[in-house]
Amino acid sequence: MGDLQSWPPLANGDASEGHHSPRSRWHEPNPHPSAIKDENWQWAEEATREVLRCIRLTVVSEQRRKAVVDYVQQLLRTRIQTEVFPFGSVPLKTYLPDGDIDLTTFGIPNTEDTLASEVCAVLGEEEQNKDAKFEVKDVQLIRAEVKLVKCIVQNIVVDISFNQIGGLCTLCFLEKVDRKIGKNHLFKRSAV
């Protein structure tokens, strides 16, 4: 735990002397933007570009997630006649590289336990199916306030909730905000 201790402050209040941090480059905690040297702006912009390059969505990541969503939708539609809808960061296109896929399925109100058990059983059978289109593993039913079936499909974590209309409403609201702001999806791009 000793490595979690903070650096002792120096006489000028800067704890980062000798270490490479943006604060040590400017020698004051909050310089006026005009006081920042061009080379420091360039360094910050390069670092920002590198972070964005690492987390930016790719065609491959989009295709993988779409294929997993389609697979789970088709599987549950044909086996237990229920519709499955994606919500959260995947349809909004604001997910991180290791982000999960959030899905919700609808059934008769107050039957979440039954629906969760059926979904868990279908995915459990698929986990055992050596001829399955996609690899399904680690299927588990989480009995919390919001019932959840959690599994891994093609090495992507998938969380399936039940009767969660709020998640779909939030998705619709955020889509409308993004469209209203426009500017090539500035809202969505700023959310990543």
Residue 153 near residue 72 (C-beta atoms within 8 A):
yes
Q: Which phi and psi (to 5°) does residue 63 adopt? A: -65, -40
Whether 111 has a pLDDT exceeding 50, the answer reads yes
Q: Which pLDDT value is given to residue 19?
A: 47
Burial pattern 2-19, b for ≥16 Cβ within 10 A else e, equals eeeeeeeeeeeebeeeee
CATH architecture classification, 59-191: 2-Layer Sandwich (3.30)
| pLDDT for 118 beyond 90 | yes
Hey, which bits of the chain come out as E strands? Answer: 84-87, 101-105, 136-142, 148-153, 156-162
| Sheet containing strand 148-153, strands side by side | 84-87, 101-105, 156-162, 148-153, 136-142
Residue 152 pairs with which residues in a beta bridge? 137, 157
Q: How confident is the model at residue 6 (pLDDT cuts 50, 70, 90)?
A: very low
pLDDT (average), residues 110-133: 92
Q: How do the domains of the chain map onto residue ranges?
A: 21-55, 59-191
The number of CA neighbours under 13 Å toward the Cβ of 163 is 13
> pLDDT tens for residues 9-64?
544 444 444 445 554 554 557 878 888 888 888 888 888 777 766 666 788 888 99
